[in-house]
Structure formats: structure tokens, C-alpha cells
Structure 1
């Protein structure tokens, strides 16, 4: 069993239920076999054993009810465990920040949270219940056989270990091949999402065909890995069936001979012949379920790797608060970048970047694309960790702060805000989940969004999954989110007027100017309109250079 999964509360409770269920199943298996043997032996003597008939009918009914109840419990437990893992996984990704999800990793995470976690169904609803059945049922049958026919019990006891031995020998290769299969799938998912995201750019540069071929090659690699795994699974099933069949024959032949010699009664012989296959059946089924569970276990290992390496709420790995967590500085504390360097692999995004932002400063960040402006905002958000240097808030290193509490002081307006499926009010309320409808409407008015929202089919109750918005409208809804964050003392605007028409740009700039009054702000600006809000201008081109007059990048 996977010890990492057993540490989860829902799994531990589920395991206790499975242990009790397996014990009940073992008793029912023995009772059914013995009652049926007694009934057949009585019928051979020309009489009807009503007690055996009733016991047999009741045990058959109880086994059916038990199987149905176990299936329902397993389904609910699997759903609870998968929901728990997905929540932990997404929390870990959120703590790592958008920088961690760059490139193919976003697609790999989507594959892991979707197909990967769903793969645990085979483990939780199939393999794990079978583990307990394989532990309890053979022991119960062996105990009854030892009382009924000791010689048969010895044969069963000697041949039973052959099935897990062969299963382990084959299972080692299966685990390795399934791990490779899973890596092929995650690589395919990551590359596919990365290709879809950049499809417009690829088509513009005539590179779409090459990337289509790469996706096709990755898909073919996954197909080959899957077929290799399936061939091995079918081979192992054949081996286990052969071993079990031969083992049952080793029990049946001596029983038949002793029955003919009169050394064994018909009832005892029938009980042995009915119980012997039941002793091997759980182990045979365990081998089959093992293969079905391997993809989920491979994904589980990846999930736990992400959870183990993810920073906790205070910046420490594993989701636990950092032991060196510093006290959150006052809201009016200065923000200082101290000789900061940021690298993405071999690419140096920022070098020797030093900047002091006093309370009330509204600093415009200008410069060429790729100069490091968005990286600087990511540093302040805590999404990116400096390769060298420090980011200080009130003298405290940002890496040692409770990042969740720090981000509660920020209002961030990205260049491309995301709107979720849901109502307009719910999307605005992301800025303050507990806000009332009146507060949502007030924020929309401040962001100059109230007019177009009321013109929508259902106003603030309009479902954005069914109704599209323009870029300017989306940006004003994002601005309304920022207005709801009344406790935010630091505003981060990442080119909020990019891709907007003149009217939308004027509305966003006017709202931003009112929101920034009396607050500290970092404004990434490529267009002149947003510079009117700034009190200082800093050019970002790998390094930071203070400009005496506004400088607008081309």
C-alpha cells in the first residue's frame, strides 16, 4: 500500500472500514461454501437440508448486499480523497505562484490534477479493498480447511505464496513501465497546452506544422508506452491464472482419491473443493487490480512531490509555516529592492536591481518588452524568489513573511485579467469574497463598469460563461475587484491599458487615478496615459534606472 496516501485522514478512515468489511466477507465466503457443501451432500443422500438451504440463501443475499455497500463506500471515499488531493495540489501551485507554472508545467499540472488524480479510482476502489480481502479470506478458508481436512490445508498453505511471489516478480516491471507511461502522458499534456497557448504566434511565424508534428510524436510515444504496459499486464494475468489453476488441481486430485477410498466424507470433500478456489481468488484478483492501480499510484507520487516541495504559508516547504516567519511590517512601511538578481534558467531577467519605494510613491515602470517589469511585480507579489539580493518590506525580508497576509495588502491588476464562469457579481467579489451586493455595485461604479453591467441581459447576475465581454469591459471588472480591496495599501498595475481602445483606456486610467490617491503604486506602463498617475518613472531594462521625466517605451 502507498504509505503517503495512508497519511491522509480520509484514507485512514476508509482503511478501517475496509478491514471490517473484509472480515465480514471472509465469514460470508466460508459460510456460503460450507452451507452449499452440506446442501449438496444431503441432496446426494436423497434428503433436503432446510437449515443449509436457508443459511446458503441468506449468505448469498448478504454477499450481494455487502458488495453493493462496499462499492458505494469505496466510491464516496475515492471522491473525498481525490477532492482532498486536488485542493492540496492547487493550494501548493498557488503558493508557488504563476512563475512556477510557466512553460509546459501548467499543462503537466492540469494533467496531474485531472487525469492523474482520477487514476486513483483504480487504487482506491479496486486495489485497496482487494488487499484486505486477500489478507482475510485466505486465512479464513485455511482455518476452516485445517479443521475439515488438514492435508488439503497444508497443500493450500504451501501453494498460496506462489501467487504473490509471481505477482511481485511481474509487478516490478509493471511499476517501472507505468511510471514511464505516466511521464509520457504528462509530457504530452504539457506540450499540448503550451502549443495551444502559443498557436497564434506559431501560425504567424509559420511554425504551426512543426509543433503539430511534435505533438503527434509525443502522442505516439504515449501509445507505445501504453501498449507495452498492457502486454505485460495481460502476461501477468496469464501467469497468475495458471498458478492458481494448478494449485487448485493439486488440492482437488488428492481429495478425490481420498473420497473414493472412503477416508473423506462427501460433505467434507465438497467443502474443500468449494473453499480451495475461494482461497486463491482474492490473490488472483489482487494481481489484476494491481495493474489497474499503477497509473494512479504514479500520479500520486507526482502529487506528493509537488506538495512536498511547495512552500508553505510562511514560505517553507511542505505547507507548514516557516519557523523564521517575521512579523508583518506596518502598512506604511517602505518597500526596498536590495541588489536583486533574477534568473530563469540561463536567462538573466534582472541584475543588480535596487529601488526604494516610499509610502505614497506612485512609480511608473517603463522600458522595452522583456526588460523585467513584470518580473519586478512578481517579486513584490512573492511569486518569484530572487536568485540573489533581497526584497525588503519595512526592513523585513519578504521571503520570511507570511505571504498570504502580505498579499492581503496588495491589489493587483494584470494585463490580461481572467474572468471565471459565474455571475458578474461573483467575479467582482473575488477582490473581497465577503462583500455585499451594494459594495460590489459601488466598486463597479468606481471602476466605471456599472453602466455596461446593467446593460447585460441579467445585470450583475449575468453568467459570464454564457456572455462574452470586450477587453475594456473585462479590464474594468478587474479594476472593480481592486476597488473592493479597501485594505490594500500597495497597488500593482501590469499594463492595464494594453490592447484597449481610447474610451476604455480613459475609463481605466481615470479609475486608477482615483484608486491610487493616497496609496503606494507600481505601474507598468507602455502608453502615455497611465504615466499621468505616476510621481516617479523608472526604466527597467535588466537594470533599474530612475528617469527625471516620463519615458515611454516604443
Structure 2
């Protein structure tokens, strides 16, 4: 693990500016420390000499040096204030830049590529790992930027400068410093190797804990329905204990190594002080240079001591940054460039689509062949297609494949235009530009993610929608009854992720937003088990919304378990899983 990873400077512009600023402040701090030591030496030396000779010392003799000392102290205080002030700002900007890049790259990689270790194949695990990395993980980078990096740069500037100044005053003390200084980074390296391993283990444990908790929360209503909500709690507690043990192991190593570094630097300063004292008694060094050397000796080791103390607070952040760079350096899949053919009256053809489900040795779906006929786009010409199959058969994975977020391990998805028999060829979905394809699709997952803001803006996505259209859509989805019970109606603020609304209300908001769809609503709608967590009234809302889409000429592909949705479908596609044959 590098003390200063060059990738951080390449990826974060704020980090480059921060390093330059910190280097400049380090130079100012070095000058201030040297000036302060000389001022103390020249002010204290005459005072000691006058006291031993029993002669009076005039204030005017030391007043200039006292003024210089005050100025040096003011400069050092200003440097410390500026470092603390701008460090916090720079750290927040660097973390924000990396977080934005990780999230954007993870989205571009898709559910599989977002997996933290590159081997996970399940979209939920990959998304949880990416979420943990982008939040808790990168937040740990702040101590590194605020504490460790400034001390590292200060050590690179201040320590050599002070050693050279000491060499000009007393070469013996300089030799002692040169011999003992390398011991500090040596012990830091030895301790860092141990701490880095514990930090890596801690981050992996927290990532697993985050994935387990997210999966548990997502499936908690289903688990409660079957009376199995207690069982996963033991697993979460076990992971929590693992995270606690890993954290305590890191802290234990940090405390022990900090004690070793403090002892080493204290003994080194003591050796310099004893040597200066003995030579001062023997008359081999003048009083003023001796005082200056004694003042500078602790300052020589101080940056290294602080680097050692802050290094352990930064290891978690460095481990997270290394994971972030590993995600950012993964190559993106080849982006298609073929334009999207007209979907109205066409078809989506799944030709032997198979997706490996994680490390379970299962294909879900397995060899899926289906031809999904799309609606005409005219009122009354829509279609409803249901994906049917037992739990774990790959229905949601099939929806991800149709979205273009997941590429199958085998087979392909063809977009067949309406005029395919008249010379228009089918297009492989993998060759279509993702952004162009996503503009043709509306996606409503089981648990919609809602942006914060007034309810009207959440539903309309900030567009100017007439009140009658908004009212009609709300009436279709049942959102009008929810709005009537809110304190400020359509202007009621909604928190991030739909905070303040129940699961059913969030579903109504998402359906209403999808029903409006803008000036040119996407012709294809994908729903992932929209009735999974709803009661009979909520289920009826979903059925009415699906009918409204079909009546408008749109095609609705829905992952369905309940008979009501299957009865509404114009076409049912059976999805099944199959174990992979052992090699």
C-alpha cells in the first residue's frame, strides 16, 4: 500500500490542488520552525549568560528576538489553521469526486461488474458491495486526507530542512538524527504491513455485512409472511461480531505500534540532548547553538511521530481507495453504437439466453427461448407479457437482461423491428447504444428508489405536467387518495428513497411517474413483481395501471407470481433454472 497513491492525484482534481497547497504550507511551517528556534536561542542565551555573570539584562537587548518569536508563533498558528480549514474542504471534495466516479462506473459496469471482488455474479450482492464502498468505505478516506497526508508532506519538507540546519550548528547531533531517523519509517513499515491486512479484512467484513443487511431488509416482508424473520438475524449478528473483532484487532496493533514509535523518537531526542549537554559542559559547543539544537531536535522527529500516529487512522481509507481504484480500472463492456429500431409492432427475441447465478453452479434462466411480440403503439394496441416461474428461476435476471444491464453468458437478445420481413434486419441488443435503449424503456423495480423533493416534482421529474393529466394518472394508480391525506397535498416533501411514505405509497408514486412518462412515453415498460408486497387494494391499483398502459398501446413485461397478473397477460413466458453440469 503506497503512502501516496498516484491514482488519487490522477482521479481527483481536488487532491492535486490540495497537495500543492499543503506543500506550500509545509515550506512556510519549516521556515517558521527554524526562525522560532533561532529566536528562542538568541533570546534565552543572553538571559542565561547574564544570570550566571550576575549582570543585568536589558529588555532592549532581547526585544527584537522576542518580536521575531511572536511572529514565528503567529505564522505557525496561521499555517495550522489554514491546513485544518482547507483539509476538511479538500477531503470532502475528493471523497465526493471518487464517490461520483465509483457510482457512475459501477452503473456502467452493470450488476456483475459492480461486485466488489470482481467474482460475484449476483446483482444484489454487487450492488450492495458498491453501495458499501461508495458510502462507508470512501468516508474512511477522510482521516487520510485530513491528518495523514499533510503530515507526510510536512515530513518530506520539514525533516530534511531541520537536519541541514542542525548540521550547520552541531554536526554530531546531525549524525545522531541521520542514524536514528530511518528507524522510524522502518518500524512504521513493519507495523503498516500488519495493519493493512487487518484493515482489508475489516472492509471485506463490513461489505459482507452490508450486503446481508440489504438483502434481509429487501426480503423482510416475505420472511415475515412465512414466519422466518428470526433466522437471518443470527447471521447478521455473526457478521457484526466479525466486524467488531476486526476493528479491535486494528486498534490493538495501532496502539502497540504507536507506543513503539513514541518510545523510539523519545529515546532519539534524549540521545541528542545528552550529547549536547555533555559537550556544552566541556565547552565544545556554544550556548546559543546548543539551545537552538535542543529546540530543533524534537521538531526533527515530530512530523514522523505524527505520521506514525495518523497512519493507522488512514489505513481503512487507503484500503477503500484501493478497492475504488480497482473498480474504476475495470474495463467497461463494449458500448453498442447501432441505433434502436422502431419498437412499435416489432418483437424482442430471446435466443437461448442463459445467465449463471453467482457461484451456485446454476443457470437462471437456462436456455430461455421466447419471442415477445410488442404492442403497436396505438391506443388499444398494447400488450402484457408475464414472466412466470418458481423463485430462483431467473425472472428478475431476465428483466435485467431485457433492460440491457446484464449480458447473458450464453445466447442473445434480438430487437426485431416491425418491417423485418420487408428488409429490416434484427439488431442484437448488445450492439445497441445503452443510453438510446434506456430511453425506450420504463423500469419499475420491486422497491422503487425515489428522489427527495416535493411529491409533485418526484412524480413529474420536474416537468411541467397539466393538473388534469396529473389528476388522471393519480386516480388510475390510487395516488390521489394518498395525496388527499397528506398535509400539503402534491407539495408535501418526500425524503430520499421515499422516506415518509409506506411501501405501498412508494409503489403508487413510481407507477404514477411511469404512467405519465413525459411527452413521448417509452413504448416498453418492465415491472419486477409489482404486487409482491401489496395487499388486495394495492394489487388492484397495479392491475389498473397495467391496463392503462396496454390501452395506451405500450408493451408491459411483468415478473408475475400472482394469478391476477397472469390472467391479465396476453403472453406468458415460462422461465426455468438448471444446474450447470460438472466438468
TM-score class, shorter-chain normalisation, is 0.7 to 0.9
Which of 244, 247, 250 is the aligned partner of 2:271?
250
Contact 1:411 1:490 (8 Å CA) reproduced: yes
TM-score, normalisation: structure 2 = 0.82
Query: Structure 1 pair 500/261, CA: closer, same or farther in 2 (3 Å)?
Result: closer
Superposed, 1:525-540 pairs within 5 Å as 525-526=560-561, 536-540=570-574
Q: Does 1:460 align with 2:482?
A: no
Query: Structure 1 pair 212/376, CA: closer, same or farther in 2 (3 Å)?
Result: closer
Query: Structure 1 pair 531/485, CA: closer, same or farther in 2 (3 Å)?
Result: farther
Q: Does 1:139 align with 2:139?
A: no
Which of 18, 21, 35 is the aligned partner of 2:22?
18
- Please state how far the C-alpha of 1:68 moved relative to its aligned partner: 1.0
Measure, in 1, the Cα distance between the counterparts of 2:348 and 2:225. 41
Aligned residues: 529
Which residue of structure 2 lines up, in the alignment, with residue 296 of structure 1? 317
- Please state how far the C-alpha of 1:273 moved relative to its aligned partner: 0.7
Measure, in 2, the Cα distance between the counterparts of 1:150 and 1:420. 66
Which residue of structure 2 lines up, in the alignment, with residue 9 of structure 1? 13
Contact 2:479 2:508 (8 Å CA) reproduced: no
Which region of structure 1 is more displaced relative to structure 2, 293-302 or 210-219? 210-219
Which residue of structure 1 lines up, in the alignment, with residue 557 of structure 2? 522
Measure, in 1, the Cα distance between the counterparts of 2:566 and 2:343. 24
- Please state how far the C-alpha of 1:222 moved relative to its aligned partner: 2.4
Query: Structure 1 pair 177/442, CA: closer, same or farther in 2 (3 Å)?
Result: same
Which residue of structure 2 lines up, in the alignment, with residue 552 of structure 1? none
Which region of structure 1 is more displaced relative to structure 2, 41-50 or 271-280? 41-50
Which residue of structure 2 lines up, in the alignment, with residue 479 of structure 1? 512
Name the SS for the 1:351 alignment partner: coil
Which residue of structure 2 lines up, in the alignment, with residue 326 of structure 1? 338
- Please state how far the C-alpha of 1:344 moved relative to its aligned partner: 0.7
Contact 1:439 1:484 (8 Å CA) reproduced: no
Measure, in 1, the Cα distance between the counterparts of 2:285 and 2:143. 43
Contact 1:341 1:387 (8 Å CA) reproduced: yes
Measure, in 2, the Cα distance between the counterparts of 1:185 and 1:198. 20
Name the SS for the 1:335 alignment partner: strand
Name the SS for the 1:384 alignment partner: coil
Name the SS for the 1:263 alignment partner: coil
Contact 1:365 1:537 (8 Å CA) reproduced: yes
Q: Does 1:446 align with 2:473?
A: yes
- Please state how far the C-alpha of 1:377 moved relative to its aligned partner: 2.0
Q: Alpha-carbon deviations, 1:405-443, whole Å to 9, x = none?
A: 3111111233443445432113213xxx3412x357624
TM-score, normalisation: structure 1 = 0.86
Which residue of structure 1 lines up, in the alignment, with residue 575 of structure 2? 541
Measure, in 1, the Cα distance between the counterparts of 2:229 and 2:534. 28
Contact 1:417 1:475 (8 Å CA) reproduced: no
Which of 313, 317, 337 is the aligned partner of 2:350?
337
Q: Does 1:229 align with 2:250?
A: yes
Q: Does 1:403 align with 2:434?
A: yes
Query: Structure 1 pair 512/184, CA: closer, same or farther in 2 (3 Å)?
Result: closer
Contact 2:8 2:15 (8 Å CA) reproduced: yes
Q: Does 1:351 align with 2:355?
A: no
Contact 2:200 2:316 (8 Å CA) reproduced: yes
Q: Alpha-carbon deviations, 1:158-216, whole Å to 9, x = none?
A: 22222112211222112112212222232233333333444455556565554333333
Which residue of structure 2 lines up, in the alignment, with residue 422 of structure 1? 453
Which region of structure 1 is more displaced relative to structure 2, 448-457 or 97-106? 97-106
Contact 1:472 1:500 (8 Å CA) reproduced: no
Which region of structure 1 is more displaced relative to structure 2, 502-511 or 382-391? 502-511
Contact 1:21 1:70 (8 Å CA) reproduced: yes
Measure, in 1, the Cα distance between the counterparts of 2:233 and 2:305. 43
Measure, in 2, the Cα distance between the counterparts of 1:522 and 1:342. 19
Q: CA RMSD in A?
A: 2.9
- Please state how far the C-alpha of 1:125 moved relative to its aligned partner: 0.3
Measure, in 2, the Cα distance between the counterparts of 1:375 and 1:335. 16
Contact 1:494 1:523 (8 Å CA) reproduced: yes
Measure, in 1, the Cα distance between the counterparts of 2:561 and 2:64. 89
Q: Alpha-carbon deviations, 1:11-30, whole Å to 9, x = none?
A: 11211111111111111111
Name the SS for the 2:290 alignment partner: helix
